Amino acid sequence: MSAMRVSGIEDSVWYPMVRQVALYHSEALVRVAAWNAMRSADGEPALKAFVLTGFAEARGRAQQGTARNRDFAQRVLVSYSAAYSPLVHATADRVLKGSDADREWFARTGFAEAKARDLQAREADEQHRQVIAQADRDVVALLASSDPGEQVRLAAQHALRQGSTDADIREFYASDWMAAAELDVEFFRQRSQEAGMRYLALIPGLIADAQDAEREALAASGAAAEQTRAVAARAWATSKDRADAARQGWEAEQRLCAEQARYWQTVADRYRGQTDPVWTAITASADKNHSAWTGEDTFATGQSRHWTDVSAQAQAGADRMTGPA
């Protein structure tokens, strides 16, 4: 067994999805469970068990208060930089090293309190305070109406809410835009990985059932042969329908990922080369987001191709069972 995974499991049908969860799921307990499955001496059966039951069990544990609060603090630490949200960043770092009670306080009130104090400090720093031009407001308005990410749209709409001021626009550029973008990536990964797990938990079993039904049909003779061939044909047709649904689901996700990747490349290109620290930070985050969405695009494309192949396999099985005996 290697330090990271059991040799040979890379060819398993279960491996790509389990690896994706291990690398990118937002909940630490879920990532750990996926890595444990990949490291297990049981090999492929451990991957299958994770897909069928382990993923849902790990997600249930991750939703408990202590685990959820830790994940929240970790997300804040990554999303709010020490340069523009020093108190938020430092407090998140402190509670991650502290107790469950510290993290509970941070999730309930500490984050909001630290965020408000960071905003007050930025607004008091007149020398470095960002001057908001109409063009800056126009960008936020554009994001509020047409950004491809729901969380970014909501954050922009909040910055432009009735009664908002230039301070709200500065807050959006300083932290809220990129924090919302992180949530868009996180929520996409949760949704797409859960769907991927459902496909894997169902379709390979349907394929196995269809293969069993075909073997039974081929072994039958006389009057039973026609009936068993019909049963096998229906089993293959059901498998194909499910594989086509999985393919279509991943194709939709791939289009979304491609749109997000193009969008973040545009953002990076827009602000690259500007020397203001706000725009420099936004450019760096945009490059990071572009990379994340490009990676998700690649994975979704691979999953779509996989289910295309499975659909073709099922169609071939149905053809065999409906063709001449």
* pLDDT tens-digit series, residues 163-206: 998 889 988 998 899 999 999 999 999 999 999 999 999 999 99
- Extract the tokens encoding 92: 């998140």
1 within 8 A of 39, measured Cβ to Cβ? yes
End-to-end CA distance of the chain: 47
Three-state secondary structure along the chain?
CCCCCCCCHHHCCCHHHHHHHHHHCCCHHHHHHHHHHHHCCCCHHHHHHHHHHHHHHHHHHHCCHHHHHHHHHHHHHHHCCCCCCHHHHHHHHHHHCCCHHHHHHHHHHHHHHHHHHHHHHHHHCCCCCCCCCHHHHHHHHHHHHHCCCHHHHHHHHHHCCCCCCHHHHHHHHHHHHHHHHHHHHHHHHHHHHHHHHHHHHHHHHHHHHHHHHHHHHHHCCCHHHHHHHHHHHHHHHHHHHHHHHHHHHHHHHHHHHHHHHHHHHHHHHHHCCCCCHHHHHHHHHHHHHHHHHHHHHHHHHHHHHHHHHHHHHHHHHHHHHHCCC
Instruction: Count CA atoms closer than 13 A to 48's CA, side-chain side.
Output: 11
133 within 8 A of 169, measured Cβ to Cβ? no
* pLDDT recorded at residue 128: 56
pLDDT tens digits, 79-113: 888 888 899 999 999 999 999 999 999 999 999 99
pLDDT tens digits, 113-148: 999 998 888 777 765 566 677 888 999 999 999 999
CB atoms within 10 A of CB 98: 14
Q: Is the pLDDT of residue 228 over 60?
A: yes
* Rounded mean pLDDT, 315-320: 96
Quote the pTM value.
0.88
Lowest mean pLDDT among 112-126, 216-230, 235-249, 254-268: 112-126
* Rounded mean pLDDT, 14-22: 97
* pLDDT recorded at residue 39: 95
pLDDT tens digits, 246-264: 999 999 999 999 999 999 9
Question: What confidence category does residue 3 fall into, taking pLDDT thresholds of 50, 70 and 90?
Answer: very low
Nearby residues of 54 by Cβ (< 8 Å), 6 or more positions away: 33, 34, 37
Compute the Cα dihedral for 151, 186, 289, 74 and give only its sign: positive
* pLDDT recorded at residue 143: 96
CA of 11: how far to CAs of 7, 44, 47, in Å?
10, 9, 12
Interior angle at CA 197, CA 192 and CA 201, nearest 5? 150
Average pLDDT, the chain: 92
* pLDDT recorded at residue 222: 86
* pLDDT recorded at residue 62: 92
Q: Whole-angstrom Cα distance, residue 110 to residue 236? A: 55
